[in-house]
Amino acid sequence: MTTILLGPQRFTVTVTSAVRSLGVEGPIAMINAGWEEREDDDAELLGLLDGRGRNLRLYHRLIDVMTKDAAFSKAALAFRDRQEELRKFYGVRLQAAVDAAHAVLHRSSPHGLKTAAFVGAVQGIRDVDRWYTDQLKQLYRELDRDAPVWQSETVGWHRGEIEAVLADSVAVVIAGGHVGFLLQALRMFSVEPPEQLPIVAWSAGAMALTERVVLFHDFTPQQVTAAECHDHGLARLPGVIALPHARRRLRLDDPERLAVLARRFPSRQLVLLDDGTVLRFPTGQTTAPPGARVITQTGTVETVGAGDEVAAGGRR
């Protein structure tokens, strides 16, 4: 069924028209766990959905499990601490690998060895990404071993309620916010909307629908500025890496930087989701539809199906 990815909703609201375009009547399941403590502050979102929204309250359910299930809570907190340590080591290795790739690009090559050196440098970045994802998978396996969620009565009770709401819904809306908490809640309660159920999502919600969730911010004050392979999502759109707020977070006027980013993920399309973006993926389509703006392997920004390339600074 249809999947619609939107740009951020703070300044340009498109969710109402997107949901209406689905042509469905009935309740709509709302997932806004990324809002954390503000999850219940959903009156505005309910209004945008013509009053048809039914909040799954995944964040509050997550907190309820952590409060009532001591064994799972202990294992989950241990997992969180180990993941944070893993991310710190990943950040150190990743930044060094990315800096090396940029250093290669800025060197002269009188004997024509620059291309091979750059290809090897990008492969070095991919190797670091693979190391992190492999280590993260191992942490998840250990969490499942130490505290299998299927043994938790509290988790089971919540899953039953969630499944009942989804079964009665005609569509799902996934909002933005903190992508880490959103993914954690989706994973804990095994929230995987049926393929035939249409989904409208933006920001962190759009990222959660992809297979590989990448965190990025070229303007962060932190030491690590390289885009990070944070986690895996629901894989409803496996061929896409969603980049919300791209104009605010990426140096779109730096083709070398964009090329390094794009070449890290040669089998996926890096899709920009800026204000006003509305991308409709029909049933079975996992690549970016016409009108989507994607980062190419050469570091330019191209509009799919437009036949013209947009250099990172503007049209030509």
Q: What percent of the chain has pLDDT over 70?
A: 96
Q: Domain containing 183 — which CATH number?
A: 3.40.50.880
Asked if 281 and 13 count as a contact pair (C-beta separation under 8 A), the reply is no
Whether 22 and 80 share a structural domain: no
Average pLDDT in the 105-119 region? 93
**pLDDT value at position 311?**
43
User: Does pLDDT of 315 surpass 60?
Assistant: no
Domain check: are 180 and 249 in the same one? yes
Q: Would residue 112 be called left, alpha or beta, if left means φ above 0 and alpha means ψ between -120 and 50 degrees? A: left
Domain boundary among 146, 180, 199: 146
pLDDT, position 225? 81
**Local confidence band at 183 (pLDDT 50, 70, 90 cut-offs):** very high
pLDDT (average), residues 233-241: 95
pLDDT recorded at residue 122: 97
316: pLDDT confidence band, cut at 50, 70 and 90?
very low
- pLDDT, tens only, 114-134: 999 999 999 999 999 999 999
**Residues linked to residue 271 through DSSP beta bridges, in sequence order:** 242, 294
Task: State pLDDT tens for residues 91-101.
Answer: 999 999 999 99
Mean pLDDT of the region 300-316: 64
**Do 138 and 31 fall within a single domain?**
no
Q: What is the mean pLDDT of residues 14-42?
A: 96
Task: Tell me the residue type at 139.
Answer: L
Q: What is the arithmetic mean of pLDDT over 193-222?
A: 92
At 222, the pLDDT band (50, 70, 90 cuts) reads low
Q: Among 146, 180, 208, identify where a domain stops.
A: 146
The confidence score (pLDDT) of residue 284 equals 82
Number of domains in the chain: 2
pLDDT of residue 314 exceeding 70: no
- pLDDT of res. 307: 63
The confidence score (pLDDT) of residue 305 equals 87
pLDDT band at 223 (very low <50, low <70, confident <90, very high): low
- Mean pLDDT on 255-275: 95
Q: 97 and 118: one domain?
A: yes
Element of type H or E holding 4: strand 3-6
Q: Is the pLDDT of residue 151 over 90?
A: no
Residues 121 and 238 in one domain: no
Do residue 280 and residue 257 come from a single domain? yes
210 pLDDT above the threshold of 60:
yes
Q: What is the pTM of this model?
A: 0.92
Structural domain containing residue 127: 73-146
Give yes or no: residues 212 and 269 share one domain.
Answer: yes
Q: Sorting pLDDT into bands at 50, 70 and 90, what band is 297?
A: very high
* DSSP classification of residue 35: G
In this structure, the answer to whether residues 215 and 120 fall within a common structural domain is no
**Over the stretch 36-79, which tens digit does the pLDDT of each residue have?**
999 999 999 999 999 999 999 999 999 999 999 999 999 999 99
On whether both 174 and 301 belong to a single domain, the answer is yes
Of the two residues 221 and 217, the one the predictor is more confident about is: 217
Q: Is the pLDDT of residue 299 over 80?
A: yes
Alpha-carbon gap, residue 224 to 298, rounded angstroms: 23
Q: Looking at the structure, do residues 85 and 186 belong to the same domain, yes or no?
A: no
Q: Are residues 105 and 253 in the same domain?
A: no
CA pseudo-torsion sign 132, 133, 134, 140: positive
Residues 6+ apart with CB under 8 A from 141: none
Same domain flag for 232 and 182: yes
Q: How far is CA 43 from CA 35, 40, 46, 71, 175, in A?
A: 13, 8, 5, 35, 13
Last residue of a domain, one of 146, 173, 203: 146
Give pLDDT, residue 257. 93
